[in-house]
Amino acid sequence: MTERFDAEGWLAGAVRRESPNQDERPEGERPSLVVIHAISLPPDDFGGPWIFDLFDNTLDPAAHPYFAAIHHLRVSSHFLIRRDGELVQFVSCDKRAWHAGVSEWLGRERCNDFSIGIELEGCDAMPFAPAQYDALKALLQAILQHYPISAVAGHCHIAPQRKTDPGPHFDWQQLRCEFATVRFPAMQKS
């Protein structure tokens, strides 16, 4: 990927689908952390429109029993990488997406303030697709060229009491090998 970010924080080459669930970062704050997540709606099911609906606040609580408990959430992420590697951007990287929740990285709370969130369509129960790793590495390369990122972590690392994603099947080693200048969590599966 040779795509670059425009002056407003949108990545050329990504499908743009803006979420209302965003706001301004604190004054003077630039992203320094990338947080990797996993999402599937309903759980362990891929390919439907439900992630888009959740991030758009249009998730139908009657469409699946699981949705009744989450349709009220106001969440978003900067990016989603689908199983086939398609890259979708919901929030400008210059803005604050609502992906981390109650969180802390290296003693600093409120990770949404200083992070970029990347959702991978996936779950704890199965590996991610090779196309997703290819898209993720290309996306990280573009992010690192534009933003002062010093670390990449999983949702499980910034909210360990609440979250397990990206899950035990996520291959951290692939990223460590390619991005040696960035800090990663201690060598272990998430």
Q: Active-site residues: which are they?
A: 119
Q: Is 11 left (phi over 0), alpha (psi -120 to 50) or beta?
A: beta
Distance, CA of 26 to CA of 104 (rounded, Å):
16
CA 66 from centroid of its chain's CA atoms: 21
Residue with tokens 């979250």: 163
- DSSP character string of 131-175: HHHHHHHHHHHHHHHHS---EEEEHHHHSTTT--TT-TT--HHHH
Q: Where are the alpha helices (DSSP H) in 21-160?
A: 50-56, 130-146, 155-158
